[in-house]
Structure 1
């Protein structure tokens, strides 16, 4: 019996491919290297490069004097960054990561065959870190198609392509290590893989063995900045919806229910006499679609538009993927009885920008705040010049780091700039705190920050127990 079972298991297992060469040769022409160029404003004085009074101070001042313009300021310089992407249509649409091209003045695409083309930005979605570019070519371009990421199984072979560490076109292979990973973004659905992903791979494709793109390589977890076999690719079934909207509208248009929610824990389920600890508990109903539809704080959302709700994360993603303006049936448990509400969804992007002016008015924003071992301050024009941050970039400047904190251990230092938290742009301390509160409400133990140092972006996940 044991022998028969073992033979049966072996018969269903798929062996390692003999080679990835045929697949790599077939899809390589659609994978591109991306170079961005940004103008960085000049600076005056040593600006903290060396301590005041240091014997090297005169050397640095002399070096900067040789590079000043006639006004006494250092001349503006160009800053470059590298990333990856892939062509999705013969007429030149290209997908990459938002953080690869964010703030760029110029975007140049290098193709596998050896030619370069300038690209224009079609649209971006910081929430999923996806951007769509467009190039104009004389001839139809080689392209790849998206596959169904939901069909990817843990253990399946995958292949990553891109421009790691600026070394040019490169291939790495591995397996799907885990599915449905969440780092800290609201719409996260990452495929975890041990295929080597390094800086510069961002925006490149993750292929299945049929040559379909099932993920966009986005982030790594690493104590040293290099690949240790824990890479994350945003699942294609999330990306395709974003790409379609960016191509059609130049922006995303997600459904919005208008509630604050939290997971139903075992003790909450017991207190509410629910048969199972699932669904989404409504903690607040501000003015919006849900209030108009009759929803109340204390309701437990059991079903949304015919889909059973397992937890808050699933509900948020389901609502976001539902068309704006659609009237849906929402089944809730209220006082031990089920009720069906009809709610017409609004648009999340409009709701997020509808912040009362008084909340962001003069005097409302503290000059500095301490959280997660970091001392943070809103980025000013003076800080942008001092930190070589491109004009127009918004975020929070790190002014100090507690050396006993996790942030210090993970390499954050004074002078870094945080531009995103939970894959949403943060311009103020209040916005950062909102992202932290949202992560805590969703039961997350960490939040993903996009940190820039001298224009070079990287993701850092920090534990929320220090905030």
Structure 2
């Protein structure tokens, strides 16, 4: 079970992941010490070779440091704004009430002071924050994190030689937390280039350079701890994990390989305390490069779009589909008039390959987003036991529309409810009264869930009152009786589980339901 995490940008110094207790290329070579000869291994054992531990990172660091900069921002904050920041940027900026003894005169003094600061009539305050960045072009283009410069009124960049330059924002991308700045300089600036992050493996040495806690030009070393990390911060998560110490202020700084190429942009850390515990996350260079190129050319990012809602194929879902092995992206919904709809994809299809490459569910949004709009991609689709090759023309990702507010009107309980006591829920007919009660659109089809037993199987699967079951085992259901008959038929056939296609507040998703054993009690 995944621990709950929260993306926390403390004063734009860094992006932290706080876990609840319960819950184009310029290359520079670096020297390395040779490993003494090792006796040949037995013929039956594989021979493993590795690079030695570097004698020093000093030469490499000396060449890279001039291209890493300090990014400083100034922002005007009205009273109460910092408290409302969803990422917590203002939490560490606002002064906190000291713990004076109760009744102390200092207690009243600071209490009155804090009240004046938080008063609606209080004058705006100026907040400053620090982050990191790196120069990728001698003309003065600088890469950093979006959360470092977000909402800033003024951005300044301090070079390694203490030269201070005013920066302007060229563009930013909220989805990947990347931004591009530009400074003007009378002379060409030192720069670094993106490398091929896909070539770097778990265990490879890396250097992180940045400005932790405002201490400019700090170099730390470590290894790549893992690849392809998903930290639930967006649909395009594919982070490099490193144990090179990263702290507040490192955000936007580069992660280098031993050739001196940027293989990542340091973005987040996992920490219960706000300090480094050896788990940092970087945006891979192969993802960042394309985003930065688009920002440089147009100031914005255009992404490829398939127009499907997908979920990972778990073993429970695979059992319900009679699919072996359990892999791919299960289509839970197809956007009307979208690219997938035009390519005849259907709900219940399993996308297993993209342009011949095997994929997992969570990787599909990121991989499809990287495809140029207008190109034709080939999807390998499993559909009811058959494998199809479906060509799809990639569309442009549309802007997210605002969700309508839900009404809180109540109506009497549906008298035609059918109870599935063993599964822990009841359903009713999706009539006008149900649509009004649960704020469902006129075109919505299926049966509505009218009750969910607390602690029951349906509750454990995340079902809630007002959700709509539209299909079972890839067959439409229009009445409670339809659903009952199909569940009973699956039980008689001694199926271990069935798949329900459920429409909830977030859209469509497939929900596997066990029908036998302890889970169905």
1:13-412 pair list within 5 angstroms? 13-42=50-79, 58-60=108-110, 63=113, 73-184=121-232, 185-287=234-336, 288-304=338-354, 306-348=355-397, 350=398, 352-355=399-402, 359-360=403-404
> Matched residues in 2 for 1:283 and 1:43: separation?
41
Q: Which runs of 5+ in 1 are unaligned?
A: 365-433, 444-467
1:114 shift after superposition: 1.4
Q: Structure 1 residues 209 and 337 mapped into 2: Cα distance closer, same or farther (>3 Å)?
A: same
1:265 shift after superposition: 2.4
**Equivalenced residues, count:** 363
State the secondary structure of the residue aligned to 1:88. Answer: strand
Q: Does 1:5 align with 2:53?
A: no
Q: Which runs of 5+ in 2 are unaligned?
A: 1-37, 82-93, 409-502, 513-521
Q: Structure 1 residues 278 and 189 mapped into 2: Cα distance closer, same or farther (>3 Å)?
A: same
Would the aligned equivalents of 1:159 and 1:208 in 2 still touch at CA under 8 Å? yes
Per-residue CA deviation, residues 182-222 of structure 1 (Å, 9 max, x unaligned), is: 11121112111111100000100011111000011111111
TM-score by length of 1: 0.70
State the secondary structure of the residue aligned to 1:118. Answer: strand
1:9 shift after superposition: 8.4
Would the aligned equivalents of 1:177 and 1:193 in 2 still touch at CA under 8 Å? yes
State the secondary structure of the residue aligned to 1:29. Answer: helix
> Matched residues in 2 for 1:129 and 1:223: separation?
22
> Matched residues in 2 for 1:144 and 1:441: separation?
46
TM-score by length of 2: 0.63
Aligned partner of 1:387 in structure 2 is none
State the secondary structure of the residue aligned to 1:261. Answer: strand
Would the aligned equivalents of 1:257 and 1:289 in 2 still touch at CA under 8 Å? yes
Would the aligned equivalents of 2:246 and 2:276 in 1 still touch at CA under 8 Å? yes
Q: Structure 1 residues 144 and 6 mapped into 2: Cα distance closer, same or farther (>3 Å)?
A: farther
1:125 shift after superposition: 1.3
State the secondary structure of the residue aligned to 1:214. Answer: strand
Based on CA coordinates, which of the two structures has the bigger radius of gyration?
2
> Matched residues in 2 for 1:312 and 1:231: separation?
24
> Matched residues in 1 for 2:285 and 2:46: separation?
30
Per-residue CA deviation, residues 447-466 of structure 1 (Å, 9 max, x unaligned), is: xxxxxxxxxxxxxxxxxxxx
> Matched residues in 1 for 2:372 and 2:267: separation?
26
State the secondary structure of the residue aligned to 2:158. Answer: strand
> Matched residues in 2 for 1:272 and 1:60: separation?
64
Per-residue CA deviation, residues 222-276 of structure 1 (Å, 9 max, x unaligned), is: 1111011111111111111111111112111111111111222234334433332
Aligned CA-pair RMSD: 3.5
